[in-house]
């Protein structure tokens, strides 16, 4: 008999650790998105670590800006950014305040509120694709810029909360280069995923964007 996932909220201490420890430990945890239409719950299956000033791939590599301000704040907060003028992506801030490291949530399995997620992801061919990729994940959960800075460790009332879930055993965790990261940042094996999980997104190497002529 399979035990039910642990619904104990993750405390701030969980996130107040080095990002390379937090990232793989997020696999199997449950992200709860509370909306006026009802809750959506997501089991995390793929993440990427970004290590602030030590990481050319990080938004915080060159220091603090209005865009990345949340990354320099307390751990356990949500950093949302807008990319390519179309999509939002969601991160969880890690490490001590001022350190500016974060974990990008790349993919997950919607385990509650599937109908709500389907309404937001009409192009998904099946439920495995609802949150297969960071922009799809944010869209399925209704995460946008208004949630930037949300405290996911707030004791009550937060629209985003992390539950203990069922942590993944280390022999089921895989790692490799991060998707689409250019230059020196592209060599770090800081993408983590659950082996053989169908909701994990495909790896894509960085492809320089061509200028139109």
Closest Cα to residue 21, out of 187, 212, 203, 190? 190
| CATH architecture, range 6-194 | Roll (3.10)
Q: Which residues contact 92 (CB under 8 A, 6 or more apart)?
A: 15, 22, 26, 76, 77, 78, 79, 102, 103, 105, 152, 162
Question: Do residues 104 and 131 make contact, with C-beta atoms less than 8 angstroms apart?
Answer: no
pLDDT 10s digits, 22-41: 999 999 999 999 999 999 99
Question: Do residues 138 and 160 make contact, with C-beta atoms less than 8 angstroms apart?
Answer: no
Burial of 91 (0-12, 13-18, 19+ CB in 10 A): buried
From residue 133, how far is each of 6, 48, 136, 158, 200 by CA, in Å? 25, 11, 5, 24, 7
What is the residue extent of each domain of the chain? 6-194
Count of C-beta atoms within a 10 Å radius of residue 202: 7
Structure tokens at 66: 């209005």
The per-residue pLDDT for 73 is 94
* Owner of token pair 């996130």: 15
Q: Which residues contact 49 (CB under 8 A, 6 or more apart)?
A: 19, 20, 22, 23, 101, 103, 104, 190, 191, 192
Which residues of the chain have a pLDDT value below 70? Answer: 1-2, 208-213
The pTM of this model reads 0.93
DSSP state of 49: E
Count of C-beta atoms within a 10 Å radius of residue 187: 12
The per-residue pLDDT for 213 is 40
Structure tokens at 188: 């770090």
Report the length, in residues, of the chain.
Answer: 213
């Amino acid at each position: 008999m399979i035990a039910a996932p642990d619904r104990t909220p993750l405390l701030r201490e969980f996130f107040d650790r080095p990002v390379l420890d937090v990232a793989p430990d997020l696999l199997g945890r449950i992200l709860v998105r509370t909306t006026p239409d009802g809750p959506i719950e997501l089991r995390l299956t793929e993440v990427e670590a970004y290590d602030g000033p030590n990481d050319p791939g990080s938004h915080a590599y060159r220091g603090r800006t209005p865009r990345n301000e949340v990354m320099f704040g307390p751990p356990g907060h949500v950093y949302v950014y807008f990319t390519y003028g179309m999509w939002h992506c969601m991160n969880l801030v890690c490490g001590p305040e001022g350190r500016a490291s974060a974990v990008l949530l790349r993919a997950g399995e919607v385990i509650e509120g599937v109908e709500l997620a389907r309404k937001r992801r009409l192009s998904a061919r099946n439920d495995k694709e609802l949150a297969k990729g960071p922009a799809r994940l944010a869209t399925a959960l209704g995460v946008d810029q208004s949630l930037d800075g949300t405290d996911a460790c707030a004791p009550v009332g937060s629209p985003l909360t992390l539950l203990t879930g069922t942590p993944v055993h280390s022999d089921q965790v895989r790692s490799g280069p991060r998707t689409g990261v250019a230059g020196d940042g592209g060599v770090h094996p800081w993408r983590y995923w659950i082996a053989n999980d169908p909701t994990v997104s495909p790896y894509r190497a960085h492809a320089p964007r061509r200028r139109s002529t």
